Structure 1
């Protein structure tokens, strides 16, 4: 398979998988990651959907990142947030419409499954090395602007989102803690595995060529 096609499939497929995982954490009903809690809280207060707010917040972050880094906004990231926004609405409004879970252990299982799927999808989409999600872009900007490490930058941006999520009544709970602390290590575990698989595929294509 052509390397360009592999990148495109990694990008689109990874984002679809990430949005599926996010949707699972939302319908689990035990709380979600800070940024998703903000989007859900805003959706509950307005007539816009969760996906709409993913796009709106994402576009705002693109300009904020540009201002903080004193550089041109990464407009290509708009493609990323639009895709994720529409994917999330598809899962929530079409596939999982009116789906609720009442049993705690079932909710916890769905939440953990969603967290693993988010990390798996992120590890795939990052292989494309295309436009990053603005949330990740904010972390990188904070790291570079304030000369702090990844952990401090990630913690600071997550706390910022958590504060706003709390203000708008977003779903904050045990799920928020699980997603926040597991996503990073899971992505770190998945990434090299997927990278080796994709690299092997590219090498095979070159040999065939």
Structure 2
């Protein structure tokens, strides 16, 4: 029971870090991450909130991941997408709704904070095999099918989505490029120490939220 609680904390805190990082990047107005630029573009062009599109696109990615891995789609991942989407809308619509345009240096600080927060968050919630974000499950599927590193897999997919987001008018900027080429290596950097931290608290328990 104690270990399940610890893994649950890693999972939820990780999602909070991810959603906070995404929100910081959007608010910095220096370019959102490729996936988030896609969600923002869909929100601006078709309506609904950014969090809503996070959930909708996540649903279709779940189907794609199941097809790639030739197994039943992991519909439990909808829980993760719902939580992330809910947190993103919480930050954007409620907490920072009245945020005014700031100086470039402060916006740059928000951008860097956002990128680091996302990398730490992904490293944390990947400690559980329960309901992984289908975006990161796609990274894991690509990693499994090609034998490429997590860093290469994440970077390749981020660049691909960047092109799509650019075509449909997403907020592309320096932040987008930094995420596209930097988030994969950063996840690689944080994943091992976060795993060691999880092992310290759980005694090396296999990363399952439920068994």
TM-score (norm 1): 0.88
Offset of residue 139 of structure 1: 2.5
Q: How many residues align?
A: 203
Instruction: Tell me if the contact between 1:27 and 1:100 (Cα under 8 Å) persists in the aligned partners.
Output: no
The answer to whether structure 1 residue 51 and structure 2 residue 37 are counterparts is no
Matched residue, 1:21: 21
Q: Taking structure 1 as reference, are residues 73 and 183 closer, same or farther at Cα in structure 2, changes over 3 Å only? A: same
Offset of residue 61 of structure 1: 0.5
Instruction: Tell me if the contact between 1:21 and 1:116 (Cα under 8 Å) persists in the aligned partners.
Output: yes
Residue deviations 1:42-80, cap 9 Å, x none?
111122100000000000111112223322111111111
The answer to whether structure 1 residue 135 and structure 2 residue 135 are counterparts is yes
- Structure with the largest fraction of helix: 1
Instruction: Tell me if the contact between 1:13 and 1:121 (Cα under 8 Å) persists in the aligned partners.
Output: yes
Between structure 1 and structure 2, the one with the greater Rg is 1
Instruction: Tell me if the contact between 2:11 and 2:125 (Cα under 8 Å) persists in the aligned partners.
Output: yes
- Structure 1: unaligned runs, 5 residues or longer: 205-209
Instruction: Tell me if the contact between 1:59 and 1:78 (Cα under 8 Å) persists in the aligned partners.
Output: yes
Q: Taking structure 1 as reference, are residues 136 and 102 closer, same or farther at Cα in structure 2, changes over 3 Å only? A: same
Q: What RMSD over aligned residues (CA atoms) do the two structures have, in Å?
A: 2.0
Q: Taking structure 1 as reference, are residues 10 and 33 closer, same or farther at Cα in structure 2, changes over 3 Å only? A: same
5 Å matches for 1:41-190?
A: 41-145=41-145, 147=146, 149-150=148-149, 152-190=152-190
TM-score (norm 2): 0.88
Residue deviations 1:14-64, cap 9 Å, x none?
101110111001100000111010001111112210000000000011111
Instruction: Tell me if the contact between 2:155 and 2:184 (Cα under 8 Å) persists in the aligned partners.
Output: no
